[in-house]
Amino acid sequence: MNTHYIKRQVQKGFTLVELLIVVIILAILAAIVVPQFASSTDDAKLASLDSTLSNVRSAVDLYRQQHDSYPGQKTAVPDATCTSTVKGTGLADSNAAFLSQMAMYTNAAGEACGIADNDADGTAEYPYGPYLKKSSLPNNPITEVATLEVISTGDLSMVGTGAAGGWKYDTKTGKFIANDTNNGYDLR
């Protein structure tokens, strides 16, 4: 028998030890990377909250400059010059008045109407606003709630109670905050 012709079979593939080392390395990398993604999600929520607060506060400030009062301080129910089918609702210091005055056209008295020009003379009876692009507030990105708690205490140190989540607004000071008890998200 010729020993030159006996072929030795070459082993192909990984050993069990090599596979275990690869699995351990992947587990260590996953343990390092996964928390990084979780914190970036929290950072994104905080950035979204900061942006939303800034936008609504700017709208409240613009309303204040044009009306000499904060939205929600006066009734939003329009007079007879509003011929629109969409009319403001809500008496002073109410959620409905705040939302109507921010999402509709308003006159100097704060009355809200769905259209600015209500007659053929070309003069807008409701020349101000709307201040928000949507007729409702966006969700609070932290609590995922869009409810609004309107108060009229005049408390500049107002903090969130978290009672309903969403937002909290004071008609006397114009302060608009996230209604959250976690001070890390207060962003005054």
| Residues 4-54: tens digit of each pLDDT | 555 666 667 888 999 999 999 999 998 888 877 777 788 888 899 999 999
pLDDT at 114 over 90: yes
For the residues 96-107, what does the mean pLDDT come to? 95
174 and 70 in contact (C-beta within 8 Å)?
yes
> Tell me, what amino acid is at 101?
Q
CB count within 10 Å of CB 149 equals 17
> Tell me, what amino acid is at 124?
A
Backbone angles phi, psi at 129, to 5 degrees: 80, -165
Which residue do the tokens 């708690």 mark?
A: 149
170/7 Cα distance (integer angstroms):
88
- Helices 95-103 & 16-67, crossing angle to 10 degrees? 90
- Per-residue pLDDT tens over the stretch 146-160: 899 999 999 888 888
From 64, 145, 180, select the one nearest 188 (Cα to Cα).
Answer: 180
CA 123 remoteness from chain centre: 35
Structure tokens at 127: 């020349």
Percentage above 70 pLDDT, the chain? 90
188/185 Cα distance (integer angstroms):
9
From 81, 85, 134, select the one nearest 108 (Cα to Cα).
Answer: 81
Sequence-separated (6 or more) residues with CB below 8 Å from residue 124:
105, 116, 117
Full-model pTM: 0.77
Q: Which of 43-47, 110-114, 183-187 has the lowest mean pLDDT?
A: 183-187
